[in-house]
Amino acid sequence: MEQLSWGRHYVMVEPAHFRVEYVINPFMDPADQPDPELAMAQWRELVATIERCGGTVDALPQRADAPDMVYAMNLGLGLVAEDGTPQVVMSHMRYPQRRMETESAQPWFAERGFATSYVGRDGVGAHLEAGDAFAFGDALVVGYGPRTEELALKHLASDLGIRVRGLRITHPGMYHLDLAFCPLDERRALVCPAALDEASAAALLDLVPEPLVLTEEEALTTFCANSIVIGNVVIMPACPDRVRAQLEEWGFEVVILDLSEFHKGGGSVRCLTNPVDVRIGRDLPSVPGGEVVLPPV
């Protein structure tokens, strides 16, 4: 097993003001509110688990007017430039209910030495949500459709000088790629083809040498693709027996955490954690001028 070299440094948002205030995904129901004390306890256990597994967590405070800010994965795409400078491409959210999150996150990152940039802002450019983007293989793999716009892929490739492989998301319940795709190591990943159109599903399965294919039901009812990996430990909100058996056969240790309060807002382990240690030139090969690769139409 050639372990992922990234995924050991995370940014998270403490859920002091987490609630379901509006509906922007199929899981949200304002009549079914999370329990604040239980949500905080679940979040703290996730932080403690990451730290026990050898990871580090930096937490920023949640804005009172940003109930979804706890889903820190979507604050921005964290990278380390070839010269060692940490940087974040800030998200430009599809829904205006979440756009104020970057107003607090951008200065927080800047104060800690991150260079920050945008591919779109205030309706200019293109929508980008970082929960759609993963380093894997020779490229940044980016889902587009429900949240991230196809145009954002061109910006990411040219601005960062990398290859971007686009995948069209068509499933309304898997509106971010992080609900359908989870890199496990350099050759393996959890993949739910039902999230994508036929050409994109085929392209993703071709890209992953050893995919662990999830059914639509497994991805939607257990959030099991919305997981993170630290070394050989997979931190998951649930794990069907079939999936656990394969992971353990490959040498992974599965750690299950109850994050049910956050499922009420449509996210789980990955949505709550934003890795900021992906390195351009190591985890993402440099491509002069950038390149976008899309599945055939």
User: Which regions of the chain does DSSP assign to beta strands (E)?
Assistant: 9-13, 56-60, 76-80, 86-90, 115-118, 120-121, 124-125, 133-136, 139-144, 163-168, 181-183, 188-191, 210-213, 228-230, 233-236, 253-256, 274-275, 278-279, 291-293
Percent of the chain surpassing pLDDT 90? 96
Q: pTM to 2 decimals?
A: 0.96
Per-residue pLDDT band for 108 (boundaries 50, 70, 90) equals very high
pLDDT exceeds cutoff 90 at 10:
yes
**C-alpha distances in angstroms, 187 versus 4, 100, 275, 297?**
9, 37, 19, 26
The mean pLDDT of 265-270, rounded to a whole number, is 98
Model confidence at 21: pLDDT above 90? yes
**Distance of CA 49 to CAs 44, 160, 209, 232, 250, Å?**
9, 32, 29, 14, 21
Active site annotation includes 239: no
Active-site residue flag, 271 = yes
pLDDT at 168 over 70: yes
Q: Which residues contact 220 (CB under 8 A, 6 or more apart)?
A: 173, 174
The one catalytic residue among 17, 92, 176, 263: 176
pLDDT of residue 125: 67
Query: What is the rounded average pLDDT of the residues 163-171?
Result: 98
Q: Does the pLDDT value for residue 156 go beyond 90?
A: yes
Q: Alpha helices, DSSP H only, in the chain?
A: 36-52, 101-111, 150-160, 198-207, 216-222, 241-249, 260-263, 269-272
Nearest-5° Cα angle at 282, 281 to 288: 20
Tell me the two tokens of residue 295: 């599945």
Q: Of 53, 192, 239, 271, which residue is the catalytic one? A: 271
Per-residue pLDDT of 243-257, as tens digits, reads: 999 999 999 999 999
- The two structure tokens encoding residue 157: 């490739």
How large is the average pLDDT for residues 86-115? 96
Position 124 confidence tier, pLDDT thresholds 50, 70, 90: low
Fold of 9-16+29-284: L-arginine/glycine Amidinotransferase; Chain A (3.75.10)
In the predicted structure, residue 184 carries a pLDDT above the cut 60:
yes
What pLDDT, on the 0 to 100 scale, is given for residue 100? 95
Query: Confidence band (pLDDT; 50, 70, 90) for 121?
Result: low
Residue with the bigger pLDDT between 126 and 23: it is 23
Distance CA 291, CA 268 (A): 31
Contact (Cβ atoms closer than 8 angstroms) between residue 81 and residue 280: yes
Return the pLDDT at 126: 87
CB atoms within 10 A of CB 137: 19
| DSSP structural state of residue 148 | S
Q: Which amino acid is at 95?
A: Y
Over the range 69-83, which residues count as b (16 or more CB within 10 Å of their CB) and which as e? bbbbbbbbbbbbeee
- Mean pLDDT check: name the lowest of 2-11, 92-101, 121-130, 195-204: 121-130
Which positions ≥6 away from 96 have C-beta within 8 Å? none
Q: What 8-state DSSP symbol labels residue 255? A: E
Average pLDDT over residues 210-218: 97
What residues are paired with 135 via a beta bridge? 140
Residues 6+ apart with CB under 8 A from 46: 12, 235, 257, 259, 269, 272, 273
* pLDDT greater than 70 at residue 49: yes
Domain ranges of the chain: 9-16+29-284
